Amino acid sequence: MDLTLWQYQFRIIMLGDSTVGKSSMLKRYTEDKFLECINETVGVDFYVHFLEVEPGMMVKLQFWDTAGQERFRSVTRSYYRNSVGGLLVFDVGNRASFEHVRDWYAEVCEHVMPHAMIFVLVGHKSDRELAGERAVSKDEAEKLAAQLGTTYVEASAKTGQNIQMCFEVVARRIYQGLQSGEVRLREGWDGIKSSVLQAQQLQSIQDSEQTKEKKRCC
Ligand SMILES: Nc1nc2c(ncn2[C@@H]2O[C@H](COP(=O)(O)OP(=O)(O)OP(=O)(O)O)[C@@H](O)[C@H]2O)c(=O)[nH]1
Ligand SMILES: [Mg+2]
């Protein structure tokens, strides 16, 4: 299938404290690479991946990889509104990053109101459990996910475990939301784009231009 022939584009944002591994997750998903030494994100980075959500339905996933550091918050905030989905990421070995998930969630919801974003909660660096470094139990993370109305996934960019699942759970939820009417395309909003709709809009502009031209000739 030609990857450029996508029917929808979803914009998805990465959220969570600095060093929880947001950039590493995207690097693993889009390039299948892991770096022990990776630069902190400055402002916002951008990644793309194509996913066939069902046979013949290609979706372009556009990811905004935000910086977790507070000093970049005014920049990253401006990306919330045009995102349809979000990954709320914490490090299973870092208790504070788990406690901050509610703050990230509240801040994003406040900015996208009255609309809603589709989230997945990710307990990242699951490989740290083997080193005896787990600081957040699976049970309490699942409880938080239930309270936020999301799914919980544990993953590791280092081993690659469940990385694909994190991104695909959120992409498929958005696609289902589109089909059920829970998520809608909105004028002046870039969270979701439809290539079919864009082609139709272009055609109607061309048609109206042709009609105007004909009237002028008459
Ligand atoms: N053990 C372990 N370490 C990881 C994993 N993923 C990332 N790291 C390490 O965690 C550190 C931070 O990773 P980043 O991907 O830069 O974290 P970030 O959330 O993008 O950080 P900011 O850009 O500052 O918001 C790096 O040293 C990574 O090598 C993982 O799955 N397991
Ligand atoms: Mg980063």
pLDDT tens per residue across span 19-66: 999 999 999 999 999 999 999 999 999 999 999 999 999 999 999 999
Give the number of the ligand closest to the Cα of residue 76. 1
Rounded CA separation 184/178 (Å): 6
Contact 57, 140 (CB under 8 A): no
Radius of gyration for the chain, computed over Cα atoms and rounded to the nearest angstrom: 20
Please report the pLDDT score of residue 84 as a whole number.
Answer: 97
Indicate the top mutation candidate among 13, 24, 46, 88 to test ligand 1's pocket, ranked by most ligand atoms within 8 A of CB: 24
DSSP one-letter code for 43: S
Ligand 1 atom having least distance to the Cα of 131: 1
Rounded CA separation 131/82 (Å): 39
Domain boundaries, the chain: 8-217
Rounded CA separation 125/93 (Å): 7
Please report the pLDDT score of residue 30 as a whole number.
Answer: 97
Ligand 1 centroid from CA 10, angstroms: 24
Ligand 1 atom having least distance to the Cα of 93: 1
Pocket of ligand 1 (CB under 6 A): 18-24, 35-36, 38, 40-41, 67-69, 124-125, 127-128, 156-158
pTM: 0.91
Contact 129, 94 (CB under 8 A): no
| Sequence letter at residue 175 | Y
Give the number of the ligand closest to the Cα of residue 89. 1
Tens digits of pLDDT across the chain (218 residues): 565 689 999 999 999 999 999 999 999 999 999 999 999 999 999 999 999 999 999 999 999 999 999 999 999 999 999 999 999 999 999 999 999 999 999 999 999 999 989 999 999 999 999 999 999 999 999 999 999 999 999 999 999 999 999 999 999 999 999 999 999 998 889 999 998 766 666 666 667 777 777 777 66
Indicate the top mutation candidate among 38, 63, 128 to test ligand 1's pocket, ranked by most ligand atoms within 8 A of CB: 38
Rounded CA separation 59/177 (Å): 14
Please report the pLDDT score of residue 205 as a whole number.
Answer: 64
Assigned fold of 8-217: Rossmann fold (3.40.50)
| Sequence letter at residue 215 | K
Share above pLDDT 70 across residues of the chain, in percent, rounded to a whole number: 92
Rounded CA separation 12/79 (Å): 10
* CB contact burial 181-204 (16+ within 10 A = b; e otherwise): eebeeeeebebbbeeeeeeeeeee
